[in-house]
Amino acid sequence: MKPTMFRSCMWLALAAAVIFSGCQKEETGQPTTQPGAYRVGAVVPLSGSGAALGTLIRRGLEMGMEDVNARPDGKRIEMVFEDSETKPAKGLTAFRKVVDVDKTKVVLVGFSAVCNITAPAAEDSDVLMVGMTTSMPGLVENRKHVIRLFMTADVAAGTIAQYCAPRFSRLAVLYADDEYGKSTFAAFQKKFVRDGKEIVFSEAFKPEEKEFRTTVAKMLDTKPDAVFLPGYGPGYITLMNKIRERDKQIAILGDSPLTNPAVYRAAGEAADGAVVPATPLDAGLADTPAQKAFLEKYRQRFNENPSINVTINYDFVQILADALAKTDGSPQAIRDYFTSLKGYQGITGPITYQPNGESDVTVRPMQIKGGTIVPLKD
């Protein structure tokens, strides 16, 4: 079905969403229309199992807009937030709403499971979709309307696999039962299993699962040297605590969701010592004047260090503002601007794009210690 026909068919179904959206914006503090502002859609998990990360995504976007909209001669940016509830079907409905009703031409979509279902819809439209907090492989391949601004599974899982290589031979992996968890596990397995190293146990878990005694017992019975846990949600916290109840010494390896203060603080002592793929700002390390200024502002406001889910979204708004100042603002022109970036120095660190819309974001292994993230000792 052609995009124009599709939008026409959806119009009546979306009429109720328009009314609901008008009420929702007032209740959630969403921005009202500003004359001349460039409207962007943001489909992120503000409830459900991914809410902790969705809150940080929104925080980074809103801080980015604060700074961009304070520029005296810049293009103002307005964000229309919709809650995916961490559910693919809800995310797809939200995506169609911000495109067809709110008339946004650029839409950020958070989480692999939601990106996986919205990417085909974006490709059949005339908008630009930006995948955020998604590491799933193949997101941008052979697509002209989808780009990513986040580290891929190869980068995140590869960072942990490289850390494990000289230290462990037998790994267990417990991963979220969705596109994110499966793709991260696959990337890790591909990079780790070589030279006699093996995955001795692997099993998926639901992000909202509550009972893990049997799973943890089976996993520990295989005598792994360490356990890799790419996951999120309340089940993730419960799982780490159950592992620590049974074995206080086993090494735990996490993925980017565990770099978020709300997550590792909820896990408490169970997360202490865990190794994660992180950026310098995750550990409160700032090199450039812009990073130092942002870190100070963020700490004063939230009393913690910013995670990549904050900084990468802040960087998105800065890059978009630059694109709007230097192009005609069309989705294609904005895509071309993003994909032309080589060595962009953002708050997150250096960001480089490939022509296909894939971004290179650098992380390194760090450790959770004493309720914060710290560099690993040599």
Give the residues across from 360 on adjacent strands. Answer: 352
Same-domain status, 17 and 129: yes
Whether residue 204 is contained in a domain is answered as yes
Q: How far apart are CA 375 and CA 378, in angstroms?
A: 9
Distance of CA 196 to the CA centre of its chain: 33
Q: Write the single-letter amino acid at 269.
A: E
Same domain, 235 and 371: yes
Kindly state whether residues 164 and 119 are assigned to the same domain: no
Q: Name residues of the chain where pLDDT drops below 70.
A: 1-35, 378
* 201 shares its domain with 266: yes
Residue 289 lies in a domain: no
256 and 135 share one domain = no
**Coil, helix or strand at residue 358:** coil
Q: Which domain holds residue 205?
A: 154-283+365-375
The CA distances from residue 171 to 147, 193, 227, 250, 255, in Å, are: 33, 9, 6, 11, 15
Which is it for strands 364-369 and 275-278: parallel, antiparallel or unpaired?
Answer: antiparallel
pTM passes above 0.75: yes
Residue 288 forms part of a structural domain: no
Task: Give CA–CA dist 315/64, Å, rounded.
Answer: 7
Nearest Cα residue to 97 out of 169, 160, 181, 25: 25
Same-domain check for residues 18 and 75: yes
Residue 244 lies in a domain: yes
What is the reported pLDDT for 35?
A: 63
According to the model, what pLDDT value does residue 378 have?
64
How much is the pLDDT for 74?
77
Residue 293 within a domain = no
Q: At what angle do helices 112-123 and 88-100 cross, to 10 degrees?
A: 40
255 and 328 in a single domain? The answer is: no
Q: How many helices (H) and strands (E) does the chain have?
A: 12, 15
DSSP character for 87? -
Nearest to 262 by CA among 346, 156, 373: 373
291 in a domain, yes or no? no
Per the domain annotation, does 290 fall within a domain?
no
Tell me, what CATH number does 135's domain have?
A: 3.40.50.2300
Indicate whether 34 and 112 sit together in one domain.
yes
- Spell out where the chain has E strands: 38-44, 77-83, 106-110, 128-132, 146-148, 170-176, 198-205, 226-229, 251-254, 275-278, 344-345, 350-353, 359-361, 364-369, 372-375
pLDDT tens for 172-222 read 999 999 999 999 999 999 999 988 899 999 999 999 998 999 999 999 999
One domain for residues 130 and 269: no
Six token digits for residue 119: 């990417």
292 is a domain residue = no
Q: Is residue 180 within 8 Å of residue 207, measured between CB atoms?
A: no
Q: Look at residue 196 in the predicted model and tell me its pLDDT.
A: 86
pLDDT digits (tens, 9 = 90+) for 43-63: 999 999 899 999 999 999 999
Q: Is residue 182 domain-shared with residue 308, that is, in the same domain?
A: no
Pair 142, 11 in one domain = yes
pLDDT of 268: 94
Q: How many domains does the chain have?
A: 2
Dump the DSSP string for 163-216. Answer: HHTTT-SEEEEEEESSHHHHHHHHHHHHHHS-TT-EEEEEEEE-TT----HHHH
- The pLDDT of residue 33 is 55
For residues 219 and 207, what is the distance between their CA atoms, to the nearest angstrom? 18
Q: How far apart are CA 181 and CA 99, in angstroms?
A: 28
Note whether 186 and 203 are same-domain residues.
yes
**44: three-class secondary structure by DSSP:** strand
Distance spanning both ends of the chain, measured CA to CA? 57
pLDDT of res. 41: 98
